[in-house]
Every structure is written in C-alpha cells, then in structure tokens.
Amino acid sequence: MTRVTMPIFDLSAAHDAHARPELVADDEAHLAAVADALDREIADLTRRRDDLRKATAGGGQKALDRDLEIHRLSSRLRVLSRFGLDVCLGRIVPDGEQDPLYIGRLNVTDADGEILLIDWRAPAAEPYFGATHAHPMGLASRRRYRWTRGRITDYWDEAFTPDAVADSSALDDQSAFIASLGATRSSRMRDVLGTIQADQDAIIRAGSRGALVVDGGPGTGKTVVALHRAAYLLYSHPRIGRGAGGVLFVGPSSPYLAYVSDVLPSLGEDGAQVCTIADMVPEAAGGVAAYDPAAAVKASPEFNDVIDRAVAYHERPPRGDVHLETEWGLVTISAQDWKAAFDAPTPGTAHNDAREEVWSELMDIVVDAYAGDIPEQGLRRSLRAHSELLSTFSDAWPLLDPAGVVADLWSVPAYLRQCAPQLSESDVEALQREHPREWTRADLPILDAARLRTGDPAEVRVRRQREVALRRQQETMGDVIEKLLDSRDLDDGEGVLPMLQVDDTHNSLIDESQLPHLTPDALAGPFGHVIVDEAQELTDAEWLMLLRRCPSRSFTIVGDRAQARHGFTESWEERLARIGLTTVEQARLRINYRTPSEIMDAAEPVIRSVFPDANVPTSVRDSGIPVVSGEYAELDSILNTWLDAHAEGVACVIGDPSRADTARVRSLSAASSKGLEFDLVVLVEQSESDASIEATVDRYVAMTRATQKLVVLRR
C-alpha cells in the first residue's frame, strides 16, 4: 500500500532553502491525495482480477475476452506495484495560472475522476520535458523531484517568466541537474525519465512515418531516447500499438539488454519485444562465433537470391509419367499433371506450406481424371497411403529444414556453385566448412532468410498432428451424436437432439485445448515499428532481417557513425537507401550528459585520427578528475583503492579477457561494452600500437563508457 505514514519530503540540511513549508506544503497535500488514489486503484484492480479468476471461463470468445481482461488488469497492477509516490516526476505551472499540473509515469485520477497525475506521454505533459528559457512553451515554472527510497530528497525549480522569478525564493540554475548526472551507476540503467532534456524529448515525440535516424556521440542519451520512444509510440500511436504489431526494440548485445531491462517496465510498458539480432534466429540459441573468415561475402543481400535458388532446387516435378497400382487398377499421373500441381502455390508461399498446397492440388487432379470410374473418397484414401506415391512426392518436393539448406551450401561446393553463380571460386572455397552447423554471426541473416523461404518444419508437423487429432475428435463426436439420434428412448420434446446434426454444432463441441498447437514466434513480426540501437554496426543482410519484420518501413535508427568498428564512410541517407529505406529524416544529439569533459578531451583526438568529421558531443560537466595512465601491474591496486573509497557504483575493466566479473567490477571487451556506462573504467591496452579503424573505434568506445574516472593501462 502507498498510504503516506511519514512526511513525503526528506530534505537534508544542505537543502534548507527548499524545506520551508510555503514551498512544499501544496506538494505534500497533492501527493497525499495521489497516495490515496493509488491505494484505491490497487484495491479495485486486485478485486476485479480476483473475481475474474474465480469466474467460470466458459469457452470460445468469452474465455478469450476474460483472459485478455485479466492480462490487462495484471499489467496495470505490475506497473503500480513498481512504484509508490515516486510515480510522480514533478510539476509544471502554466503562465497565467496558479494551479500546477503534476506529471507522472501514468495517469492517476481521484474518486471523482479528477486528474491528479498526467501521463508523461500525454500532449499536456510535453512542456515538462521540452520547455527551455528560449522556448518556455507557455510555462511559468517547472519543478523536478529527486526520489530516494520513496521520499523526495531534493528538488529543483526553474522559472521561465519574470513573475515566476519574483514569486519564488528557491530557484535553481542547472547546477543541481548537472550534479545529478554524476550519480553512481549500478548493474541496471538508472531511471532518468524525470530528467529527460528538451533535445531528447523532441526526438522521443517525433512522428513515426518512414525512418528517423538519431545520430549522437557517446553520452548523448541515444539509448535513453530509443527506450522512451518505444514507450511513447506504444501509448500515442494506435497504428503501432499492440493491436497493430507493436514495437520491436533491437539492441547490440545480451549485456546491453540486461542493463536496460528495467527501463520499459518502469515506463509502464510491457508490450515491446526486446531482443538482439541473434535472438531472432533459433539456431543461435546455443551461441554463435563472432569471427567468420567469409563474413564479408555473407553480408551481401544477394544471399537472399542464393537461398531462393537453393530451395527451388528441391521443387522439381517428375519428368515422366508415374504409374500407381491400386485396387481399381493402374492409376497414371502424367508429367503435365505433376507440373500443374507444382505451379499451384501462390508466389511467395513458404516451401513447406506450399508443399501442402501442391499435394492437395495433385490429389484433386488425379481424382478429377478418374471421376466416375473410381469412388472419390476411396481413391483419396488409397493415394494418401500409397508408399510409391509418397516416396516420389517426397523426393520431388521434400519437407525442408532451413538450417539444413544453409549447411548444405557450406559443405557441398557443387550445390553452392549452382545456387550462387556470381561467386568466385575463391569465395566458394572460403565458404566451405568442415563443421557447417557451427554457426557464426554472419550466418544468422542467411538462416533467417532460409526459415522465411522454407517455413518452419515444426509448424508443418504440428499442423498435420492437429488435423489428425481434429479428425479423430470429429469422428468420435459423430459416433456419439449418431448413437444419441438413433436412441428411441431420448426425446426431449423440444427438438434439441436433431440440432446435433448441424455441422456448426459438431464444431462447437470440439475441445480446442486438446489439439496440438505451436507457440507463435514472438519475434517474427510483422511489427508496427522497429527501433534499432547501435545501428551503425548492422550489415546489409542484417538490415534485411529487420525490413522483413516491418512492412510499413517505420523505423527509429539510433547510432553513431564514428563508433562503427569497420568504418562508416557514407551518410546515413546513402547507407539506408542502399538497403531500401528511402523516406529518412535525421536528428542529431550533440550534448554529452554522461562523460566528463576531462575524459572527452582525451577521447576526441583518438576518434578524429580516423574519423575527422566525427560527431563528438560537448560535455555539460567537469568532474575535476584527470585521466590517469599507468602499467598493467597496477590494475588490482587501482580497483581495490577505488572499491575501498566508494561504497556504491560499478567499475569495468575493458580489454582484459582473463579477468572474471565480480559483484561490482565487470570485465568486457570494447565491443560488448557499447551502450553501457560505469563509474570507473580501466582500459587495458596492448603495448604494440594498433592504428586500424577497428582498434581505434574500440578505444574510443571504451574510453567514453566512464561517468567519473578513466584509467588507461599499458600491458
């Protein structure tokens, strides 16, 4: 329960100027009303959910509607249970009005329906984030709260009009906000909703037509923008929300996803699918190798055509007539009959799904040819069980495993040459592997294309099992109904029993829960919008994976060309046009909220040495802590000294694969540290200098992960 049992404000002696009753009394009263409203809503939601759980489910649509309502109520309860009064972010006072508007993570109303908190995504809340002194957006003042364990431990006020300045005696400049940026980090991204800045908020609320590129250097809040944009779009855009596909959020690595895992739930959203590129491909579940000597060849989108030809190779009708012995004599299926059946599927139908269409069409052709001579049902049963026909059909149109199709390309050179005539002999040789199913990251887009082109063989098997089980249920139900109708002792006098002869009644008696089913692939799409973080690293083939999942081409593309490990010489517009995204807008983030100026001053020359026009952001704060250099032998001493001096916070050693993670010290490569941030970063470098683009970008990325202190050690 959130009922207030102690003062909401817990301001230390350092904030005496903020603690005077005339400054906080109105907030105390309003937040107490919010607490009561939250208690009432939680109790009401819990009662309604529990009542639904106890109610008889019924069947069909009624059961579905009940389950959906239970899910909706449970989702709201989960959001409310994450927060108490810290659901409130702050308040704004419109110019010319005295009553403030309080902004929260979600809407909260009192018993009379009066709004106590406005959802941060609502249009009325936009000035809370977007107002600046140059563009106050109609505000007189704004107050932001800092919450600690359910109580307000600080707040800062900003005035946008002369009257507001005259009326307030507790104004702050931006120093309080800037000081908050240096707060210690943890293993999860901290909550930053209350401190979203105007440049970030403008991007969060931007339209969703076409592709929006968000280009920003380290510390500019690209990931913050991407995550908050996902929550905003789900709330504000009906064509993107759950009923229209929802949002797919793609991050660069598993450590990154773990780091940001709390953000969307804290924003009141559990409707987005969050994953990496590898998560989209079942074959990657056991892990994939990062290095692949043929990665550059596989990155080409032309491999989609290679997969098409590889699958088409397995769709070859018999060239001659096929004669089958049956109980009615010889049945002949001509080469023309086979070709007609093979031409039946609609273009674009997955191979395994089309296989069912081809078989059905072949059966119809044969039955029609012998109509009048052989009983139709008898002939169909005979053909379905005919071993020679089944064997011939399986050879001509086999059930394909997508991973097997790709593995054959990597292990049968003649097959690869036939399917990829554009490859040189050296490329064919480079693609061959002794263990073709030991997948690499470069294989993933090709496996994804193969799954799309072949269809999921497990789905075909489940569909067959379902059809068999359904047929058995129908036959059993038919036998029961027939016995009831034949019984002379059963006469209800109302004509109910004869209704059992109606087909719809038969179908309504089927128990769907007993039929085999396959859990849908939640990452297969289609999605209403796709958000990609660290997008500068994606290959053309990986982009096609995402395009297949978003037919509307509605994208938010977040990245930094300067952090591309293999170089990024094109503009974003040129890069995206090459993979089929032509409606592109671009926004740039230029203010570094994370990295102190001392660290950025050291990192900037590093990246400009290989990328002169890099978008290097301007830091808004100094830490007073210089960048330290030293020798690898000092590593343990540096870490121990820092841990002893800091009871909270997280450090990271980057570039020392021999070191294991501990409770407060992570060990990562530069590539896997992308998107993350740490209080202390110790970068371990080899004594031999490597001036390649990849090594230089890795160094720049590693240096800019630190929020307080950077140490560079030579090994």
Q: Over 80: is that where the pLDDT of 189 sits?
A: no
Choosing from 562, 589, 616, the residue where a domain stops is 589
Q: What is the mean pLDDT of residues 512-533?
A: 75
Residue 516, token pair as written in the block: 């085999």
Residue 133: which pLDDT band, with cuts at 50, 70 and 90? confident
The answer to whether residue 447 is domain-embedded is yes
pLDDT bin (cut points 50, 70, 90) of residue 528 is: very high
Last residue of a domain, one of 183, 212, 228: 183
In a domain, 470, yes or no: no
In this structure, the answer to whether residues 412 and 366 fall within a common structural domain is yes
Name the band, by pLDDT with cuts 50, 70 and 90, for residue 153.
Answer: confident
Return the percentage of the chain with pLDDT > 90, whole number.
61
Domain boundary among 589, 614, 641: 589
| Location of structure tokens 């036998």 | 479
Same domain, yes or no: 446 and 310: yes
The number of distinct structural domains making up the chain is: 4
One-letter amino acid at 715 equals R
Between 5-19, 214-228, 242-256, the lowest mean confidence (pLDDT) is in 5-19
Q: Is the pLDDT of residue 415 over 80?
A: yes
Amino acid 468: pLDDT: 63
Q: Is residue 655 part of a domain?
A: yes
pTM given for the model: 0.83
Q: What is the pLDDT of residues 613-635, one digit of tens each?
A: 999 999 988 889 999 999 999 99
436 and 397 co-located in one domain: yes
**So what's the pLDDT on residue 688?**
77
In terms of domains, do 642 and 676 share one? yes
Please state the rounded mean pLDDT for residues 479-495.
57
Same domain, 170 and 227: no
More confident residue, 476 or 309: 309
Residue with tokens 């060849």: 297
Least confident of 61-65, 431-435, 481-485: 481-485
Which of these, 620, 595, 587, lies nearest to 229 by C-alpha position?
A: 587
Would you say residue 169 has pLDDT above 50? no
Q: 306 and 398: one domain?
A: yes
DSSP string for residues in 373-398: TS-HHHHHHHHHT-HHHHHHHHHHS-
- Tell whether 147 is covered by a domain: yes
Q: Do residues 622 and 692 share a domain? A: yes
Residue, of 655 and 171, whose pLDDT is higher: 655
Within 288-386, residue ranges assigned H as helices are: 295-298, 303-312, 335-342, 351-369, 376-384
Domain containing 576: what range? 200-288+525-589
Q: What is d(CA 176, CA 156) in angstroms, rounded to the nearest whole number?
A: 7
Q: Using the predicted structure, report yes or no on whether residue 650 has a pLDDT greater than 90.
A: yes
Mean pLDDT confidence for 165-185:
56
pLDDT at 258 (0 to 100): 87
Closest CA to 683 of 696, 16, 527, 255: 696
pLDDT at 237 over 70: yes
Question: For the residues of 99-132, what is the DSSP string, one character each?
Answer: S-EEEESS-EE-TT--EEEEETTSGGGHHHHH--
Residue ranges of the binding site:
216-223
Please indicate, yes or no, whether residues 238 and 123 belong to a single structural domain of this protein: no
Binding site listing for ATP: 216-223
Is the predicted pLDDT of residue 6 greater than 90, yes or no?
no
Give a yes or no: residue 464 inside a domain.
no
- The phi, psi pair for 600, rounded to 5°, reads -65, -35
For residue 491, pLDDT over 60 is answered with no
Per-residue pLDDT tens over the stretch 658-699: 999 999 999 999 999 988 899 999 999 987 778 899 999 999
Residue-wise burial string across 613-640, b where 16 or more C-beta atoms lie within 10 A, e elsewhere: ebbbbebbbebeeebeeeebeebeebbe
pLDDT band at 706 (very low <50, low <70, confident <90, very high): very high
Based on the domain organization, do 154 and 216 belong to the same domain?
A: no
Question: Is residue 651 predicted with pLDDT exceeding 70?
Answer: yes
Percent of the chain at pLDDT exceeding 70: 85
Q: Tell me, yes or no, whether 188 lies in a domain.
A: no
The two tokens of residue 447 are 């496996």
Mean of the pLDDT values across residues 20-45?
92
Same domain flag for 224 and 157: no
Q: Is residue 2 part of a domain?
A: no
Distance CA 705, CA 572 (A): 24
Q: Can you tell me whether residue 9 is helix, strand or coil? A: strand
User: 99 vs 411, which has greater pLDDT?
Assistant: 411
| Structure confidence by residue, pLDDT tens digits, 306-355 | 999 999 999 999 999 999 999 999 999 999 999 999 999 998 899 999 99
Query: What pLDDT sits at residue 505?
Result: 47
Does residue 1 form part of some domain? no
The chain-wide mean pLDDT, for the chain, equals 87
Whether 616 and 531 map to the same domain: the answer is: no
User: Which pLDDT does position 521 carry in this prediction?
Assistant: 79
pLDDT at 520: 63
The string of pLDDT tens digits covering residues 202-211 is 999 998 889 9
* CATH classification at residue 673: 3.40.50.300
The count of other CB atoms within 10 Å of the CB of residue 139 is: 22
508 or 78, higher pLDDT? 78
Q: Are residues 227 and 169 in the same domain?
A: no
Q: Which residues pair with 71 in a beta bridge?
A: none
Q: Compute CA distances 280 → 43, 150, 441, 525, 555, whole Å.
A: 39, 38, 12, 10, 17
